[in-house]
Chains A and B, each alone.
Chain A
Amino acid sequence: MGRAAFTLTEVMVASALSTFVLAGILSTFLLIGRTGLTAAAYADMNTTVRHALERFNHDVRHASDVRWAGSRRLTLLPAPGAGPAVTYAYEPAANSAAPGRFVRLIDGAAPEVLVASVAPDFAFSRYRLPDDALNEPPPAANDFETKQLQVSMRAVRVTGGLPAVSQLALSARNVMRNKTVGQ
C-alpha cells in the first residue's frame, strides 16, 4: 500500500494559494524596486541640479556685466582680470520637444554639461533693481539695467522603462555684485 498523499484538490488549492502569495511578493518587490529607482533618479537629479545652480549662482555673483542673448543663452562678463567670460545656455535636442541640455561654455574649452536632460521650458530671467526693498524686482529690458539673474529648469530622467520623472528647479535671483547700475 502506498503512502498517504495529497489529493488533486489539495494540490490545486495549494498551487493557487502559492501563486497568489508569490504574485503578491513579486508585485511588492517590483513596487519597491521601482520606487527605489525613482527615488534614486530624484536624488541624482537633485544633486546634479543643485550643483548646476551653484555654478550658475557663483558665476552670476562675480559677474561685472551680462550679455543677454535670449531667455536660453547669456554670457557673464567677469571683473577685469578675474578670468574669462562664461556663457550659460540651453542646447535643445534635434527634436525640439525632447529634453535638451544645460551647458556652461568658455571660449576655447569643451562645453561643460551641467544637466544632461532638461525639458524645453527652460528659461533665464533678468531683473533690475527693486523699487524698494519690499517689492519684487521688475523685469529688465536690456543689459544696461539688468542687476539680477535667475534660471528655471525642469530636469528630466527616464530610467529603464519607467515613466519619466522630472524635477523643477528655480535658482535664487542672484545679484551681480560687481555690476554698477542706475547711479
Chain B
Amino acid sequence: MKTPRPAPCIQVSVTPARRRGSVLIVALLIAAIVALVLGSYLSLNLGTARLSQRTFDRGGAFHLAEAGLEEGLWTYNRMLSGQPDTWADWSVDGDAAWRRIEGFRLTAATTGTIKIYASPVAPDEHASPTLVALATVRSAGGAPVTQMIETTLRRRTYFAAGLVARQRLVFRGRNTTFDSWNSDPDQNSATPAVPYAAPLADDTGAVSTGAADQAQISLNHARIHGYLHTAGLTPDIGSTGYIGPFGVAPGAVDPARFSRNFHADFPAIVAPEGGQLVTAFGTSLGTPGAATSWRAKSLVLKGSSTLTILGHVTLVLTDPLDAVSILGKASLLIPPGSTLTLYVGGDIFIAGGGLANANASPAAVQLWSTATSARPQSIHVAGNGSLSGVIYAPEATVTVNGDGAILGSIVARDITFTGNAAFHYDHALDRLGRHAPYRSDGWRTVDDPAARAALLPLVDR
C-alpha cells in the first residue's frame, strides 16, 4: 500500500513570502508619508526660525544705526562744548567726517558694524548738519542685514515757548493775555523782521511750567491763546481765564491744548571772557555796524539819562548783587540794526520803558543770566512801557507788574505777572540756538533704493 505523499514544502512556503513583501511595501509607504509630513513640518519650522532670525537681525541693525546717530549727535555737542579732540576718532576729509565702529556681538554668532557720516564738521550757528548711519548685522549662515538712517540736526533753543517757568507760574492780573506771532516768517535773517501787530497774532505759542506742586501754578484770569505744558499737573483756571485757540469759551482749559510732558534741562550759562572794561557809561556804547565786547561792574541809569547801543554789543556785568537798574525816565535804547547781549548774574530792575528795543525782532536784546542757585536772582520789570527781548534766567524770579506789552520769551525759575501785561511770543525764537546743543530735527530710515544708492557712497567708506 502506498502511503500518501506529503505535500511539497514549496507550496507551503509561497504564501508567507508574499505576505512579507506586502508588509514591506506598506511599511515603506507609511515611512514615506511620515517622512513627507515630518519634512514639511521641519521645513515650516526652519522657515519660521529663519524669519525670526531675520527679524532679530533687522531689529539689531535698526538699534545699531540709531546708536550711530547718537554717536554723531554726541560728537557735535562735544564740539559745541569746546572739546578740542572732537573729531579725533573720525576720518575727516574737507567738510565731512566718517567713522566706522566694529565688534558689536549681538549673539555668539551675530555681529554688527556701524558706519557714520557727518557733514559739515564745523557748522555755523544756523547750519543743519546731516548724519547718516549705516548698520550691518551678520549672522552665521545668513545674508547680512543692513539699516540706513538719516537725520538732520539743528540747535535746540531755550525759547521754544513764550513763558517757561521751572517752578512757579503765577498770573495775578485780571486781564493778562498771551498770544504769538512770527517776526521771521521766511526764516531768512537777511530780510527785515516783521513787527508784532494784532492782525498777525496767532494762537499756537506755548506756556510751560515744571511746577511739582499745584500751588505753584496759578493761572487765575490769564487768557492764554495757545498751549500749556506742565510736568504732570492739571491746572485750574479762573472764570474769565482760558487756555485755547482764539474764540475759546472762558473759564476752561481746552483739553486738546494741554500736555503734561514738560521736561527740560536748564544749563548754567558762563559769561564770555574778555571785553573792554567800562568804568562809567556815557551816552552810547559800541560801534555802529561792528561787534564789540564790554565788561562793567553794573549798569545804572537814573533820571532822564539814555544809553544808546551802537552795533552788536556784548556786555558782561559782574556785580553779583545789583547789576542793572534803570530808574525813572532813564532808558537803554537799542536802535534798529543794533543788538545787545547781556550777561548778568546780579539783580535787575527795569522801570517804565527803560529797555527800549526799536528792532522788530525781540532777539535783538538777549539777557543771559549767569546766576547760580547759590544766590537766586531777581528780575523786576515795572511800568507800562513795552519790553521786547529774550530772558534766559533759570535761577531767577521774574516779576512783571506793568500793564504794557512784553514781546519775546522768558525762561526763569519763577514767573509772576502782577499787572495786566500783554505777552506776545515770537515763533522766530524757536530757531535761536545760542548756547544750546544740537537735537534731531528730521529723522527717516532710508528704505527707498534710489535714496539709499545716493547716500551709500557717502557713508560706506
- Counting residue pairs across A and B whose Cβ atoms lie within 8 Å, the total is 81
Chain A residues whose CB sits within 8 angstroms of the CB of B206 once the complex forms: 183
Residues of chain B in range 44-62 having any CB-CB distance to chain A below 8 Å? 44-45, 47-48, 51, 55
Cross-chain pairs A/B with CB under 8 angstroms, 29 sampled? A29-B33, A32-B34, A32-B37, A32-B41, A35-B41, A36-B40, A36-B41, A36-B44, A43-B44, A46-B48, A46-B51, A58-B445, A62-B443, A79-B442, A82-B444, A128-B260, A131-B232, A141-B255, A141-B260, A142-B258, A144-B227, A144-B257, A145-B258, A145-B259, A145-B260, A145-B261, A177-B440, A180-B160, A182-B262
Contact A144 to B37, CB < 8 A, known contacts A47-B51, A129-B263, A183-B208: no
- Tell me, in angstroms, the Cα distance from A61 to B447 when the chains sit together: 13
Interface size class of B (residues with CB under 8 A): 35 or more
**B contact residues vs A (CB 8 Å cutoff):** 11, 30, 33-34, 37, 40-41, 44-45, 47-48, 51, 55, 160-161, 206, 208, 227, 229, 232, 255-264, 440, 442-445, 447
Chain B residues whose CB sits within 8 angstroms of the CB of A46 once the complex forms: 48, 51
Contact A144 to B51, CB < 8 A, known contacts A131-B232, A183-B160: no
- Is residue A39 within 8 Å, beta carbon to beta carbon, of the partner chain? yes
- B256 & A50 in contact (Cβ 8 Å cutoff): no
Chain B residues whose CB sits within 8 angstroms of the CB of A39 once the complex forms: 41, 44-45
Contact with B along A17-34 (1 / 0, CB 8 A): 000000001000100110
Residues of chain A in range 68-109 having any CB-CB distance to chain B below 8 Å? 79, 82
Our pick among B45, B256, B445 for the contact of A144 (Cβ within 8 Å) is B256
Our pick among B40, B257, B264, B445 for the contact of A62 (Cβ within 8 Å) is B445
Chain A residues whose CB sits within 8 angstroms of the CB of B30 once the complex forms: 25
A-B CB proximity, top 8 nearest: A182-B261, A145-B259, A183-B160, A177-B443, A181-B261, A182-B262, A129-B261, A144-B259
Closest to A183 in B: B160
Chain A residues whose CB sits within 8 angstroms of the CB of B440 once the complex forms: 177
- Tell me, in angstroms, the Cα distance from A89 to B370 when the chains sit together: 52
- B261 & A147 in contact (Cβ 8 Å cutoff): yes
Chain A residues whose CB sits within 8 angstroms of the CB of B45 once the complex forms: 39
Closest to B160 in A: A183
